[in-house]
Amino acid sequence: MAKVAIVGATGKVGQYAALSISRIPYVNEVQLYGRPGSESVLDGVARDLIDSFAATGTDSHVSWSCNIEDLKGSDIIVLTAGVARKPDQSRLDLAVENAKIVADFSQKIGRIAPDSFLMMVTNPVDIMTHVALKYSGKKPNEVFGLGTHLDSMRLKSAIASFFQVHVSEVHTRIIGEHGDSMVPLWSATTIGGIQISNLPSFAQVPIDDIMQQVKSSGQKIIASKGATVWGPGEAIATLIRTILGNENRILTVSAYIKAEVHNIGDVCIGVPARINRSGVYPVPIRIEPLEVRNFQNSVEKIRGITREIFSVLENGE
């Protein structure tokens, strides 16, 4: 059984993640962490969560704290703390402000919970995952981010809807940045086990429209209801269940790569990774030449901004 802590638990994503995580059978403690001053909100979130357990039969202990030392003993810490973008902002606009928050928490988490996994949700998530890796002092397989797994879910829904098939019949993934330079892998997309380009109707798929829909999904939801919550909240729970259940599923997460994708590396970015109780392991893959070029561009973009952010953190602005 495991303790999962959420840092940023008073926020929109943190609160829904608490609910989705509490329903994972391997979790026996959900800890809600918030900044000093957020005691009353945390208490309310905990009580509301516990009320739901009677309906779902969930048997989990809920605790809350504003004392960072209480993260000790966590098996997984989910970091959702930080600012969220406004509809007219890019996720990258949040990089400097959130990097300072993430670096500070990661340093503390590295000391207080050296054996925990650290899952990054705060945006821009690929860069924040690298900040967390560096400042926590944890191993690369212990630090990962919710990146293009969410985009892959969105693409999967769009393809299922176009072909009018159940989502479980669609396998696809998006790699690269959780942002504009994301790369759909059509070469790794199947419907009912058939490679998508072998289906005659593939010629009618409005690929550009679908990718535009996937890329703008977060921004559209933020513009209309203020935040994306249920998509990311469920994705967070899937990743945690995969680790705690030692499931060895291959999911696309932001992880540190060295050379797994055509020798491109030294960056944290969305890649397929085998995930189990020992951590997150990027899978060596070979993809089509155009996909390699697009992935290389995405990596260069994220690696460049990550370096700038490291320099800001080290030298100040």
Nearer to ligand LMR, 28 or 219 (CB): 219
Determine if 14 is a binding residue for ligand NAD (CB under 6 A).
yes
Instruction: Please give the distance of CA 83 from its chain centroid, rounded to a whole number.
Output: 16
- Whether 10 has a binding-site annotation, put simply, is yes
Pick from 7, 21, 91, 130: which binds ligand LMR (CB under 6 A)? 91
Measured between alpha carbons, how far is 259 from 245 in angstroms, rounded to an integer?
28
Name the catalytic one among 61, 149, 178, 262.
Answer: 178
Residue 282, binding choice from ligand NAD, ligand LMR, none, Cβ under 5 to 8 Å by partner class: none
x-marked contacts with ligand NAD along 240-279 as a string, rule CB under 6 A: ----------------------------------------
Q: How far is the CB of 195 from ligand NAD (least distance, A)?
A: 28
| 178 among known catalytic residues | yes
Cβ atoms within 10 Å, residue 315: 7
Single-letter residue type at 131: V
Does position 12 interact with ligand NAD (CB under 6 A)? The reply is yes
Query: What pairs with residue 120 in β-bridges?
Result: 79, 145
Pick from 192, 198, 201, 146: nearest CA to 170: 192
Question: Does residue 228 bind ligand LMR (CB under 6 A)?
Answer: yes
- Cβ atoms of residues 118 and 143 within 8 Å: yes
146 in Cβ contact with 235 (< 8 Å): yes
Buried b (16+ CB within 10 A) or exposed e, 35-50: eeebeebbeebbeebe
User: How many whole angstroms separate alpha carbon 168 and alpha carbon 190?
Assistant: 11
Does 156 engage in binding with ligand LMR (CB under 6 A)? no
- Write out the two tokens for 162: 């176009």
Binding-site residues: 8-14, 85, 91, 98, 121-123, 154
Active-site positions read: 178
The residues that touch ligand NAD, with contacts defined as CB under 6 A, are 8, 10-14, 34-35, 80-85, 94, 98, 101, 121-123, 125, 146, 150, 178, 227-228, 232
